[in-house]
Structure 1
Amino acid sequence: MSTNYYYGDNVNMYGGQNNKGIVKNEAGAAQQDPALAAALAELHGLIAELRTRVPAADAQLLDDSLPALSPDAAVPAQTRRGALMAIAGIAGTVGAVGQPVAEAVRAIVAMISG
């Protein structure tokens, strides 16, 4: 019996035609951009402040979005983007109070999009 342990990328090719695909075995947060992790941490603090100034239903939406914004969360990019858009929407409805949150979201979206 053979046991294999893979760290990093693993590519298996059988035969010589139409070989596609790669298995990504990444460590997640260990390889995450430190600037993105710092921006997400800052956003968490801004959200904590914002949630005290919005209605309970909006505060609940903010809370529901937080798990997707954890720097070490293994979530699909689309889920993270959706959470960011929900937060930006709430921040946009409260005017100047939400402006720092909206700006932080814009910065993070720029980081993960480009």
Structure 2
Amino acid sequence: MSGDNYYFGDNVNMTGGTGNTGMVKNVGAPAADPGPDPDLRAAVEELRRLIEQLRAELPPASAQVLDAALPAATGEAPVPAQSRQSALMSIAGIAAVVGPLGQPIVEAVARILDLLAA
């Protein structure tokens, strides 16, 4: 058994005391997060703009539902994908109820859902 060596993690052996430059890890840096898709970001901003225009035409209760769903729908709140989809569908449902005035919001939600599915 004598002479068996078991190493876990980094192991450094140095001979002599000059010219030592440190430990080479040979590990690359983690890839940088590319951030959100520019098309998705633009679609979310368009949805936000359309909702702001529609809010003035809605009863207060419907406006509150929109306000509650907006953070999850836009990705501001860290929620699972299923919760984000539910929030988007809630917004689309309110927009569909108000008729032609809400049609651009329904289309914007459909675009965001398509981008999220891709």
With normalisation by structure 1, the TM-score equals: 0.71
**Does the 8 Å contact 1:37/1:71 carry over to 2?**
no
Query: What is the total number of aligned residue pairs between the two structures?
Result: 91
When residues 47 and 101 of structure 1 are mapped into structure 2, their CA distance, relative to the original with a 3 A threshold, is same
**RMSD over aligned Cα, in angstroms?**
2.1
**Aligned-partner Cα distance in 2 for 1:57–1:7:** 46
Q: Is the 8 A contact 1:91 1:98 kept in 2?
A: yes
CA distance in 1, matches of 2:37, 2:76: 11
Tell me the CA shift for residue 74 of structure 1: 3.0
Q: Is it true that 1:43 corresponds to 2:58 in the alignment?
A: no
User: Which of residues 47, 51, 59 is equivalent to 2:63?
Assistant: 59
- Greater than 6 Å deviation, 4+ residue runs: none
- The alpha-carbon deviation at position 54 of structure 1 amounts to 1.1
1:74 is matched with which residue?
A: 78
Distance in 1 separating the partners of 2:74 and 2:103: 21
Q: Check if 1:113 corresponds to 2:117.
A: yes
Identity of aligned residues (%): 48
Aligned partners of 2:72 and 2:87 also within 8 Å: yes
Aligned-partner SS, 1:31:
coil
Q: Higher Cα Rg: structure 1 or 2?
A: 2
Unaligned runs of 5+ in 2: 1-28
Unaligned runs of 5+ in 1: 1-5, 9-25
